[in-house]
Amino acid sequence: MTAKMTMEEKHENPEHDAQETTAQAEPETEAPEGQDAPEQEDTDWQDKYLRLYAEFDNFRKRTMRERGDLIRNASMDVLEKMLPVLDDFDRAAADGSEDVEAVREGRNLIHTKMRQLLEAQGLAKMDVNQGDAFDVELHEAITNIPAPTPELAGKVVDVVEPGYKLNDKIMRYAKVVVGQ
């Protein structure tokens, strides 16, 4: 037999025809797959990169939005707790009582309620008295005056506004007058 068969022989032997067709088809399918595989892999990596980038961008935007919401609404809890005190002030203002003692007692009750609420939130008044040594870490000197006595030189002569700490961090420095 020769390598080439005549047309008649090809039609008579269908198995040979199928083998020849398969043999011819294989090289054609392998070459394009070999060429498409790197391109397909590149496309897959690009797609994965774009998806990851979009996911990260969405995460970043969501985090910024949540941070903004947290900052805008951070004081909501404290303000919500202060509403009853505001209601007490409104009731006191609406009361037309001329009794000075009742007004004073109502004011003291509201003041106590407000102080307790703020202390429960971590606010503490700093203890600054006349004669304390001036400390720039705790005090803000608003003016210097001649010391009334030699012992008050470089010390607190008067407390104009008290200082406050919030959870052991200074929220407002005590405003003091210092003797020279």
Residue 95 tokens read as 């009361």
In this prediction, residue 165 carries a pLDDT of 95
pLDDT at 174: 94
Q: Which CATH number fits domain 124-180: 2.30.22.10, 3.10.690.10, 3.90.45.10, 3.40.190.10?
A: 2.30.22.10
**Residue 4 pLDDT exceeds 60:** no
- Tell me what pLDDT residue 74 has: 80
Query: Which DSSP string do the residues of 119-174 spell out, in sequence order?
Result: HHTTEEE----TTPBP-TTTEEEEEEE--SSGGGBTBEEEEEE--EEETTEEEEPE
Lowest mean per-residue pLDDT among 28-32, 67-71, 103-107, 163-167? 28-32
pLDDT at residue 41 greater than cutoff 70: yes
Q: How confident is the model at residue 35 (pLDDT cuts 50, 70, 90)?
A: low
Token code pair at residue 122: 């971590």
- Domain boundaries defined on the chain: 14-73, 124-180
What average pLDDT score do residues 11-25 get?
Answer: 48
Q: What percent of the chain has pLDDT over 70?
A: 80
